[in-house]
Amino acid sequence: MARKERGSRRAHGPTSDGFARLVEHAIASIPEPFSEALGEVAIVIDDWPTDEQLLDNGLSLDDDLYGLYEGVPRTEFNADWLMVPNRITLFRMPLQEDFPEPAELAEEVRITVIHELAHHLGIDDDRLEELGVG
């Protein structure tokens, strides 16, 4: 399959501001005690993942990525480590392309936020699959 040209595809869906509101709603829906962990991560929105983000996560340049957690999971905090900022990035364009219906997009944004926050809490992909949040 040929590499997807980012920016040449036009996703239908909310504007950047509208997408940010979907993310805000997703964040507000996270229950205690998990929502407390949101204070430990920055949540940012980018249109597309970089090639480096894809490759560093074992993906090909043809793959789409909805979200990415970068940082040190809570379960690996260590007193003598230099703390780096923990960050969850949501990738707007792949989400909007794959979920054109507003309700589906809102639900997938919520799932993606929860999935990436779970990584911050030290939950790996295998366990997320077992929990049905894979």
User: Helix H segments across the chain?
Assistant: 16-28, 51-56, 92-98, 102-120, 125-131
The whole-number pLDDT of residue 125 equals: 84
Per the structure, the count of domains in the chain is 1
The whole-number pLDDT of residue 35 equals: 87
Q: Residue 95's CB: how many other CB atoms inside 10 A?
A: 24
The whole-number pLDDT of residue 56 equals: 93
5 is a domain residue: no
What's the sign of the alpha-carbon dihedral 58, 48, 101, 34? positive
List the domain range (segments joined by +) for residue 67: 16-74+82-131
Token digits of residue 50: 């970089």
The whole-number pLDDT of residue 134 equals: 61
Full-model pTM: 0.82
20 is a domain residue: yes
58 is a domain residue: yes
The whole-number pLDDT of residue 69 equals: 94
Determine the Cα–Cα distance for residues 32 and 15; give it in Å rounded to an integer.
30
55 is a domain residue: yes
As averages over each run of 10 residues, the pLDDT of the chain (134 residues) reads 44 82 94 86 95 94 93 73 79 95 95 92 85 69
Q: What is the CATH number of the domain that holds 36?
A: 3.30.2010.20
6 is a domain residue: no
107 is a domain residue: yes
